[in-house]
Amino acid sequence: MENRQPCFAEAATQQGYDIVLRPLDDVRQSEQVDPGNVQRLRESILHTGQWLEPIIVERSKGIVMDGNHRLNAALQLGLKRVPCIELDYADPRVRVRHWQTGQAFEVTRIFTTIARGEIFPYKTTRHAFDPALPVVAIPLDNLYG
């Protein structure tokens, strides 16, 4: 993970979130995705020519907290790096709940599932962040190299 580079964005700094350009190989999918949503997102990213929403990842393992569709769009686009906000599950700004029931989701389940090389079904977990996450505008050209 030595390849991560800081990516300074005023909105992120104002909200207390640091954004880094993380190698795509260091980001681990946590849930299945809707292929149609990935395709629409990919087209939207190509149309704007910019990456607008960072992927939220667990700092030590790179597990996606929020952004599995963005990760898959980045893979389809052949990007080498993606803007990420790295957080820990112990961070008071992070809450994770079961998508259907709204009940607290046991974080250890996330780590053990990913460690087994598995991912959760679509819409299993729902992460919430307070304060709200920033929007950035990073040219795609900065993410291919």
Band (pLDDT 50/70/90 cuts) for residue 7 is low
Whose CA is closest to 48, among 114, 129, 139?
A: 139
Q: What are the chain's domains? A: 5-144 (3.90.1530.10)
Write down the pTM of the prediction.
Answer: 0.90
Burial (Cβ within 10 Å: 0-12, 13-18, ≥19) of residue 85: buried
> Residue 124 pLDDT > 70, yes or no?
yes
Which pLDDT does position 15 carry in this prediction?
Answer: 75
Confidence band for 11, pLDDT divided at 50, 70 and 90: very low
pLDDT tens, residue by residue, 54-72: 999 999 999 999 999 999 9
Nearest to 18, CA basis, from 91, 79, 74, 76: 91
